[in-house]
Amino acid sequence: MHKTSTSLTGAHLGMLLWALIVGASFPAVGLLSEGLPPLLLTAMRFAIAALAMLPFARHAGEFVPHKAGLLLYAALGLCQAGFFGIMFWAAHRVSALSMSALFVSMPLLAYGIGRLIGVEAKAGGLLAILALGAMGALALALAQTGGDMAQLQFGWAEGFFFIGCVASALYPVLSKWGLSRGMLSANPVIRTFWSLATGGIIIALAGFASEPVAQMGRMQLSDILLVAYLGIFSSGVTFLLMQRGTGVLTPGAVTAYSYLVPFVSMLVLFVVRPDLIGWHWLPGSVLVLLAIALLLRRGEGKKFQTIEVAMAGGKAKG
């Protein structure tokens, strides 16, 4: 009982930390020198993160996966590579508001796909929370543009970015599916390492094929240190927290914490630019915080429900 309670609470707290790290990392990316190849930089981040995880993964249990598990890790890596690759491609073709509007669909996609393959139970309450969080995150994105709805456009480029959102939603769904069938390691550190390793290889191949490798020689010491920080924390730690959360929570609940990311980025923006603080940020902030509070409350309810079932089972045995 205590272990179940602790693991569920720990998973939610871990995902809160995930949102804080990811939200605070977005402004840091803007500190990199201009003109550096984004795919190769991402591959470098993944490589650093995988190397940081390697000594822990090797001593965490059965390190080398079976053939089926390796194929699934490759699929997980492809999901991440697909999302990051399409995101960088879309950055200069899709408006920030359109990208935000499409990205908020990711938790809803994770819930829907999870339902289709049997790793997500029917939960109207969770679906309502996801819809509430999506409205809040979209309101924050709209506040950042000053309410300019003209930036909200949908075309073939936006459709391509939506495919990237589907790939990102598939990551926790496939992880949960592989765990439920014993295809992936029960240890989140091992799952994190192989996801990063396979994803890094796929992104590197795409970068070598489409980007000027020589531009990586323009990296300064500050760029290398920043990429190392992003690799260890923004990639390594966040992947670990997500895999840890996936082992306990459903894909929809895990991805719901992505709604907190724009809220955290907003707070970082206010620290740097306090002149941008205004009431127009309030509606989205309230909706996002309410959605996360309801998600945590729902998690507490599930925890106590689990404890009651365990107690009833113990009495029945007695």
pLDDT at 315: 40
Q: What is the DSSP letter of 249?
A: S
Least confidently predicted of 13-22, 102-111, 250-259, 292-301: 292-301
User: Which has the closest alpha carbon to 88: 99, 77, 75, 101?
Assistant: 99
The whole-model pTM stands at 0.84
67-90 vs 188-210: helix crossing angle, rounded to 10 = 50
pLDDT for the residue 81: 84
**Residue 42 near residue 228, CB atoms below 8 Å:** no
Mean per-residue pLDDT, 70-84 = 89
Query: Higher pLDDT residue, 26 or 306?
Result: 26
Encode 21-39: b = buried (16+ Cβ within 10 Å), e = exposed.
bbbbbeeeeeebeeebbbb
| 244-250-254-259 Cα dihedral, nearest 10 degrees | -170
Q: Which domain holds residue 45?
A: 2-317
Q: How confident is the model at residue 147 (pLDDT cuts 50, 70, 90)?
A: low
Of 89-93, 112-116, 188-192, minimum mean pLDDT range: 89-93
Q: What is the pLDDT of residue 8?
A: 82
CB neighbour burial string for 268-297, b if at least 16 within 10 angstroms, e if fewer: ebeeeeeeeeeeebeebbebbeebbebbee
| 156-180 helix and 238-246 helix, angle to the nearest 10 degrees | 60
Give per-residue pLDDT as tens, 23-44. Answer: 888 777 777 888 888 889 989 9
Count structural domains, the chain: 1
pLDDT at site 173: 96
Residue 284 or residue 90, greater confidence: 284
**Res 317 pLDDT > 50:** no
6/159: higher pLDDT:
159
